[in-house]
Structures are given as structure tokens and as C-alpha cells.
Amino acid sequence: MAIAVEFINVNKRFPKANYNALENVNLSIEEGELITILGTSGCGKTTLLKMINRIFEPDSGEIRLFGSSIKDMDPVKLRRGIGYVIQQIGLFPHMTIYNNIATVPKILGWEKKRIDDRIEELFHLVNLEAKEFKARYPAQLSGGQQQRIGLARALAGDPAVMLFDEPFGAIDAINRENLQDELLKIHEKSKKTFLFVTHDINEAFKLGTRVLIMDRGKVKQFDSPKEITAHPADEFVEALIRTAGKNYILSDRGGI
């Protein structure tokens, strides 16, 4: 299996910070994995994610995408080839749902039929009816529906890598669980590489084929949910697992 994303001795410190946002980070993510990135606020998980699409640049070290150093890539072209989903969604309020999803394919110069076919496919993938939703505007959708459309838009250009920065953080518990289940189905169908930031241990262990646990810029453990549960690397990881409390049960995927 090809290595999709690789961090080699990556360091980053922001001005006036007391410690590195990332400290000597080394990791390899295989193509097709769903990696969840878990840790408390300020641990470096969002910084790590934003380095993959060059929103932040490392102070030292190297990041590779499918074997090529991203510092040699045009940042705009790089970002067009990476899906990015955030909590705020960021749908364009003045554009229909169809045009929201079509944004990147249009920039990439796709023909109309290819765009239409892709949009139909994506509505099916996120479990929404195209006829019912494509002519609507974002304000006419619920929070959960908007999040699905945000996911469809991020997938529209057929990116090899998808980045998720706490996308379900503002969604109520029932919809959040439904969206998690949909995301697992979408990942299974798409076979793409997903990196998903969360501060919720239950979400991280439910979704991740492997979980990357961070604290104060350092990688504390990077392994399957089952392995982390059985063999926590240190006291920090052990304490994190304890926070799951009585809800802590292993799922079929190996998570909580």
C-alpha cells in the first residue's frame, strides 16, 4: 500500500508560544486509512492537519504527499487536490446547493455532464435526494444537512486526501452519531485517505482505523483503537482512555 501522507522530523512553533505546536513529528499514513487525531485543546492536532494543505508551514522537517514534498508544490493547486471540511462548513449562502458542490469541478474545468454525474453520485453518497435539495440554498437546510453538503463539496473534485477539522462538533448528539455512521460508509465506498481531528475520544475510537494521540505538540501514541486500549503508551494516554468512563466498550471496528 502506498504512503499517502508522511511527516519527517516536523517542528512548528508560533510566536510567543511557550512550547512547540508540533515537536519532532514523524508518522506515515497509508493510502485508504481513516486516521483520527485526538487530543486536548492546543495539543497541535489542527496545526498538524493545516500543514498538509500548507495553511501553516513547518519551521523544519518535511511533509510528503504520495512521495512528493509538498514544499515543491503550488499551494493553490495542492489545496484543490485535497478535500477540507470544517465545523463552520462555509457553504456559500448566495449559491444553490448544486453550485456549492460544483465549485471545485468548475475551477478544475470539468465539462457540465461530468459535473452533473458527479453531483448525482455525491448526493447518493451523502444520503440526500438530489431532486429535493440541489435547487435549495444553505439557509433552507438543517445543520446536519449542511454538514452533509459540506462533505459532498469537499469530495466533489475527487481528492485523494480528505481533511476534517472537528466537522461534527456543533451537531447535536443524534445527528452526530448518524453523520459518523455515514462517514464510515463514505470512507468504505470511496477508499480515500481521511484525516479527522476531534477532541471526543468516543468519536476518535469509533471512526479511526488508527488513532493519533497528541499532547503539547508531541505524538504520544499512534495505533489501532484496540492496541491503544490494551497497551496505552503512558499515563497521559491511560488518563485519556479513563475519561470515556462507562461508555467505554470496544466496537466491531476496534474503537470505543
CA-nearest of 171, 4, 6 to 86 is: 171
Residue 114 inside a domain? The answer is: no
Q: What number of other Cβ atoms are within 10 A of residue 215's Cβ?
A: 19
Count of structural domains within the chain = 1
How big is the chain, counted in residues?
Answer: 256
**Mean pLDDT along residues 117-146:** 93
| pLDDT (0 to 100) of residue 245 | 58
What is the distance between the alpha carbons of residues 173 and 175, in angstroms, rounded to a whole number?
A: 6
Residue 7 inside a domain? The answer is: yes
244 pLDDT tier (thresholds 50, 70, 90): confident
Residue 76 burial by Cβ neighbours in a 10 Å radius (0-12, 13-18, 19+) = exposed
Give the HSE-up count for residue 146: Cα atoms under 13 Å, Cβ half-sphere.
19
Question: In this predicted model, what pLDDT tens digit does every residue of 170-222 receive, in sequence order?
Answer: 778 888 888 899 899 999 988 899 999 998 999 999 999 999 999 999 999 99
249 pLDDT tier (thresholds 50, 70, 90): very low
Return the bridge partners of 194, or none.
34, 162
**Mean pLDDT along residues 120-135:** 93
| pLDDT (0 to 100) of residue 174 | 81
Give the three-state DSSP class for 53.
coil
Higher pLDDT, residue 37 or 147: 37
Residue 36 inside a domain? The answer is: yes
Put the strands of the sheet holding 22-30 in their side by side order.
Answer: 22-30, 3-12, 60-65, 68-69
Give the three-state DSSP class for 217.
coil
CA-nearest of 182, 162, 229, 235 to 201 is: 229
248 pLDDT tier (thresholds 50, 70, 90): very low
Residue 141 inside a domain? The answer is: no
Residue 104 inside a domain? The answer is: no
Here the CATH number for the domain that contains residue 214 is 3.40.50.300
Q: Which domain holds residue 250?
A: 1-81+163-171+200-256
Question: In this predicted model, what pLDDT tens digit does every residue of 7-45 receive, in sequence order?
Answer: 999 999 999 888 999 999 999 999 999 999 998 888 999
CA-nearest of 18, 9, 16, 25 to 214 is: 25
Q: What percent of the chain has pLDDT over 90?
A: 70
**Mean pLDDT along residues 97-105:** 95
Q: What percent of the chain has pLDDT over 70?
A: 95
Give the three-state DSSP class for 17.
coil
| pLDDT (0 to 100) of residue 229 | 92
**Mean pLDDT along residues 67-84:** 93
**Mean pLDDT along residues 149-156:** 91
CA-nearest of 179, 181, 157 to 167 is: 179
What is the distance between the alpha carbons of residues 126 and 49, in angstroms, rounded to a whole number?
A: 23
Residue 50 inside a domain? The answer is: yes
Residues 6+ apart with CB under 8 A from 72: none
Is residue 134 a contact partner of residue 95, using CB atoms and an 8 Å limit? no
pLDDT tops 70 at residue 253: no
156 pLDDT tier (thresholds 50, 70, 90): very high
What is the distance between the alpha carbons of residues 43 and 67, in angstroms, rounded to a whole number?
A: 27
**Mean pLDDT along residues 41-61:** 94
pLDDT tops 60 at residue 256: no
What is the pTM for the complete model shown? 0.90
Residue 144 inside a domain? The answer is: no
Residue 131 inside a domain? The answer is: no
147 pLDDT tier (thresholds 50, 70, 90): confident
What is the distance between the alpha carbons of residues 146 and 134, in angstroms, rounded to a whole number?
A: 12
